[in-house]
Amino acid sequence: MWYYAVKVLLSAGIIVAVAEVAKVNATLGALIKSLPLISILAMIWLYVDTQDTGKIAELSTGTFWLVLPTLPMFLVLPALLKHGLGFYPSLAISIAVMALCYAAAMPLLARFGITI
């Protein structure tokens, strides 16, 4: 039980830390957020739980390919905000764009023999 509590608290702590740092310094917040801290923690937790390096390799490869469809969201969101659209509509549209990119990426990856 303690193990799961540590996992939750550490993972949530990173998210809170990014938000707090970004209040003071957006660049530093973005740098911390761009680090694959959650991915690294997930790989550590998976290894501790399973000792299965094959699963770690699959997770790492899948993460690489599935990060790509998220990238347009980080361009669409600031563009919409700069054009005066409110935060929540901008976020919703950005998430929709990301979902469409995922929908396009999955069959495209499969076409090239990349399975996730």
Mean pLDDT of 105-113: 94
Can you tell me the distance from the alpha carbon of 51 to that of 59, in angstroms, rounded to the nearest whole number?
13
pTM (2 decimals)? 0.79
Question: Does residue 65 fall inside a structural domain?
Answer: yes
Question: By the 8 A CB rule, do 94 and 83 touch?
Answer: no
Question: Does residue 12 fall inside a structural domain?
Answer: no
Domain of 76? 52-116
Question: Does residue 103 fall inside a structural domain?
Answer: yes
Question: Does residue 13 fall inside a structural domain?
Answer: no
**What is the pLDDT at residue 47?**
96
Render pLDDT for 20-66 as a digit per residue (tens, 0 to 9): 999 999 999 888 888 888 889 899 999 999 999 999 999 999 999 99
> Does residue 115 surpass a pLDDT of 90?
no
Question: Does residue 110 fall inside a structural domain?
Answer: yes
Residue type, 50: T
Mean pLDDT of 11-25: 91
Question: Does residue 73 fall inside a structural domain?
Answer: yes
> Does residue 68 surpass a pLDDT of 90?
yes
Question: Does residue 19 fall inside a structural domain?
Answer: no
Q: What is the mean pLDDT of the chain?
A: 93
Better pLDDT: 48 or 11: 48
**What is the pLDDT at residue 23?**
95
Angle between helices 73-82 and 87-111 (to 10 degrees): 150
The residue among 50, 74, 70, 51 whose CA lies nearest residue 62 is 70
Can you tell me the distance from the alpha carbon of 18 to that of 35, in angstroms, rounded to the nearest whole number?
11
Question: Does residue 64 fall inside a structural domain?
Answer: yes
Domain count, the chain: 1
